[in-house]
Structure 1
């Protein structure tokens, strides 16, 4: 067992205990996770590099460690689950890559999953090995037994006499009454947190050998058994290309050229209904090409089939582009949301994957090349999404369109801006500064003050403080001055509108206007 008896395990035990203590101090505060989480991630990475010098010596592990450091800095700026997940993946790669080089993303995805699963019992497994080592060194066991015997009687006897004196002497009793012990729920939660940190940190410091020895087996069925002949492939691709050409022609006629749609069909319906279904179609097309036309197969060797596949992939890319345009048209009609931003990013990934599939077929690239290229594209998109606040981006888009287009633009959903909270505060302040209607300005001021109060509460605790919220607060304070809100004795709606005293009267009133432009909220 490497490291037992030579101080290696001892250093890692001390490092794990330090991480547990730091994690308890930083994380254990409900609802107050801020920049300190990034500091904990940096400490985690530093412990890994210090206790395992092989991470610094291996080039691939150094790259993974630098990526983990970058995600830790993003956690300092603005903590998020996606960033935390990417940090965990990067630091796990840094811990494992010194033992095995990177081959393909699917194999390493399996190794990372096994690393996480097997790591749950790693502390107990190594504790048992330490016990077996100590069993072989009986004198150490005897020394430990003697030490326990030495201190047991003084501790137990002293506790007994202190209890008796506390009952007999009110001064001692009052002194003990000032000592507040943590509640049972606190002890349990802190124990769980310590166990979670241990289960995550210890496998990083002492990865199981089985993690990097394990080879990921491919699917158990033979792909040659589902290999169609060249004639079948040619006929299928001709049919597929003809069907896709009809769909693409309709998109070019109505989406790209702006021609009027037939009666009873609105542009919003046309744009929204097929945006995601067409992506599924493109994914199925990509899967067909991967299975039936892999490099070296009979179909891939046919020049006619290769040309038809190239045309079909180009049509699929156009299909994805049309899906993105449909989503943008829907955004023009109803505004931007984080889900629509994420959908656009997903469509870009699908288009990239289709292009990579075609390139692989034309250039005869390996399956590992295709997997790694797609994994790299996905990693770049996820890393970008972890750095950029999608809520702030959606709010900025909606605010910019509202200020630029006025009544001609889509209605501004103030309830959605209220839901975004601190992410939308800068955009809300920008809208408030340009609002000419006093009632609308009052609503925006209410939303802005609500977000400011939420940020102020979090920023007042060192655990909840973040650099991004500090920048937002400073920017908003420069944009708008403190205002006196209109009295709202019965509260406000989610769009900032003052509630009426009579619910029956409110129910009979028309929908409240939530737009700077005067359009009704949808």
Structure 2
């Protein structure tokens, strides 16, 4: 039985050639195929503003820092980061308050470029940029958490950002979301022959044209210092990784909760042990205070062979450490104060005696300074003693008013930061140099002048050295210290400038002119 031939549908060739047989025949419209990829991937589009900002900041950092000592350039760079962060901040975010905070943080660096000023500038930039991300409705209670989050992200956020960009590009390339020219294979297929042919043609033309050959040789005679180039590339990479977190920081979801750490270590503390310890400690401090008063004010004699300077030096720093441990013990004993009515008065007496102990340590250190002069360590010790005494007073107030640990921690941090902020504007090197030279001209001072320490104070002491060494020509100075005792203005680029160095340079320039005039006319004719 013959099989029936069944043709399902019209063959494609007849359908194409016989389109005019249809009743609704119209010329077929061939729409151009829609591209399967955008010009750039969506992930790359989202990251382009960040990448452009990072490139701008890296270029600015190279202009400001490469080959120069940091100075006011750090302030300019910090404000550039803040400006870029402002441009990318979420809508309806505060700008004035963070900007004012950054102004306060920038002032120490404008005054003098030093480690303390750099710390304030860095902290101010971190808090200001974090503040830009906080909604006004949330207040500043989450500011601490935002700043800590940004600080914690600084070492790794830039590396993570680069890795995320690389993964996004790889993912979009695998999905066909990137243009064909973004692949290495496309570039090899379409550009290898044109570039290779152009190179061959260039070589032939250079050999045929001596003038062209000389021009090419002169154009490519570039002296490249490979080590310097590597260091500069490392600077670019470091700047890029450093500024990246400032552009992607997000506001935290919760505020930072300040609570004392729970170590789980009791150290044998209970109401009974604390009571007995306070009685014994107060007795010991009473004996120590009585001896200090008798020696410092009553004129009591010291052991044979011990001077007041030795007595002061041996006691100043141990007494300071004792006062610091006393404050820690008072905080540890605070949970037991309600268990016995004598505990709170004993703690307050303990803190009061330690405040007196800190004052005694400061007086001992002052006696030692009268004999041996000022140094950085002795100045810092005096400042620290004042802060410890203030901290003990705040601990006593906390115990008396039953304030929280958060109350004490916040106020202690404010006082400490305030003291450091004031210190950033004080020229301690100048004070030390003036004290050393004053003692060098005092015939009653028996100790030798430490010229090595004087010359190690740096340019910040130049004004005091110039004022102290001339016209007091009777100072006997070692020959090797001639350059140190005749300071000259420091040559600075505008990137390295700060107010203190500028003031000292101005004084030294005027002083040099006055010396020249007096050398020419010593009797004032």
Residue 471 (structure 1) aligned with residue 503 (structure 2): yes
User: What is the distance in 1 between the residues matched to 2:124 and 2:156?
Assistant: 18
User: What is the distance in 1 between the residues matched to 2:324 and 2:144?
Assistant: 18
User: What is the distance in 1 between the residues matched to 2:194 and 2:74?
Assistant: 41
1:369-408 map, 5 Å: 369-399=407-437, 405-408=442-445
User: What is the distance in 1 between the residues matched to 2:475 and 2:217?
Assistant: 61
Measured against aligned partners, the alpha-carbon deviations of 1:395-421 in whole angstroms (never above 9, x if no partner) come to: 234345556x55348644332221112
Alpha carbons of structure 1 residues 6 and 141: separation in structure 2 relative to 1, 3 Å = closer
Measured against aligned partners, the alpha-carbon deviations of 1:220-276 in whole angstroms (never above 9, x if no partner) come to: 5436x5573333222110100111112222222223555442321111111111222
Residue 114 (structure 1) aligned with residue 156 (structure 2): no
1:235-314 map, 5 Å: 235-257=276-298, 259-293=300-334, 297-300=335-338, 302-314=340-352
Aligned to 1:41: 78
User: What is the distance in 1 between the residues matched to 2:139 and 2:217?
Assistant: 64
User: What is the distance in 2 between the residues matched to 1:273 and 1:359?
Assistant: 31
Residue 433 (structure 1) aligned with residue 470 (structure 2): yes
Aligned to 2:25: none
Aligned counterpart for 2:219 among listed residues 176, 196, 203? 176
User: What is the distance in 1 between the residues matched to 2:346 and 2:143?
Assistant: 29
Aligned-pair distance for 1:319? 1.5
Alpha carbons of structure 1 residues 231 and 148: separation in structure 2 relative to 1, 3 Å = same
Question: Retained in 2: the 8 A contact 1:75–1:83?
Answer: yes
Question: Retained in 1: the 8 A contact 2:394–2:408?
Answer: yes
Aligned-pair distance for 1:176? 2.9
Measured against aligned partners, the alpha-carbon deviations of 1:116-159 in whole angstroms (never above 9, x if no partner) come to: 33435243244246437745973434363498566666556556
Residue 138 (structure 1) aligned with residue 176 (structure 2): yes
Aligned-pair distance for 1:207? 1.8
Aligned to 1:233: 274
The 3-state SS of whatever aligns with 2:178 is helix
User: What is the distance in 1 between the residues matched to 2:194 and 2:119?
Assistant: 48
User: What is the distance in 2 between the residues matched to 1:279 and 1:124?
Assistant: 49
The 3-state SS of whatever aligns with 1:420 is coil
Measured against aligned partners, the alpha-carbon deviations of 1:158-215 in whole angstroms (never above 9, x if no partner) come to: 56655676677541443234333x3221222112211221222110110267897998
Aligned to 2:110: 76
Aligned-pair distance for 1:370? 1.6
Aligned to 2:371: 333
User: What is the distance in 2 between the residues matched to 1:376 and 1:132?
Assistant: 49
Measured against aligned partners, the alpha-carbon deviations of 1:62-117 in whole angstroms (never above 9, x if no partner) come to: 55543333333432342122222221222112223434866599977864552333
Aligned to 2:16: none
The 3-state SS of whatever aligns with 2:70 is coil
Task: Tell which deviates more after alignment, 360-369 or 166-175.
Answer: 166-175
Question: Retained in 1: the 8 A contact 2:75–2:121?
Answer: no
Task: Tell which deviates more after alignment, 436-445 or 200-209.
Answer: 436-445
Normalized per residue, which structure has more helix? 1
Question: Retained in 1: the 8 A contact 2:130–2:143?
Answer: no
Aligned to 1:186: 228
Aligned to 2:55: 17
Aligned to 2:29: none
Aligned counterpart for 1:447 among listed residues 479, 484, 488? 484
Question: Retained in 1: the 8 A contact 2:316–2:365?
Answer: yes
Aligned counterpart for 2:387 among listed residues 327, 338, 349? 349
Question: Retained in 2: the 8 A contact 1:68–1:91?
Answer: yes
Question: Retained in 2: the 8 A contact 1:426–1:472?
Answer: yes
The 3-state SS of whatever aligns with 1:193 is helix
Aligned to 1:517: none
Question: Retained in 2: the 8 A contact 1:105–1:372?
Answer: no
The 3-state SS of whatever aligns with 2:337 is coil
Question: Retained in 2: the 8 A contact 1:106–1:371?
Answer: no
Alpha carbons of structure 1 residues 187 and 158: separation in structure 2 relative to 1, 3 Å = farther
Question: Retained in 2: the 8 A contact 1:335–1:398?
Answer: yes
User: What is the distance in 1 between the residues matched to 2:267 and 2:362?
Assistant: 33
User: What is the distance in 1 between the residues matched to 2:501 and 2:129?
Assistant: 32
User: What is the distance in 2 between the residues matched to 1:116 and 1:204?
Assistant: 8
Question: Retained in 1: the 8 A contact 2:144–2:256?
Answer: no
Question: Retained in 2: the 8 A contact 1:15–1:47?
Answer: yes
Question: Retained in 2: the 8 A contact 1:102–1:108?
Answer: no
Alpha carbons of structure 1 residues 234 and 63: separation in structure 2 relative to 1, 3 Å = farther
TM-score between the two structures when normalised by the length of structure 2: 0.77
Unaligned runs of 5+ residues in structure 1 are: 485-522
TM-score between the two structures when normalised by the length of structure 1: 0.77
**Structural RMSD (CA):** 3.8
User: What is the distance in 1 between the residues matched to 2:393 and 2:516?
Assistant: 54
Alpha carbons of structure 1 residues 420 and 166: separation in structure 2 relative to 1, 3 Å = farther
Aligned-pair distance for 1:45? 2.6
* Aligned pairs, number: 467
Question: Retained in 1: the 8 A contact 2:348–2:396?
Answer: yes
Aligned to 2:162: 124
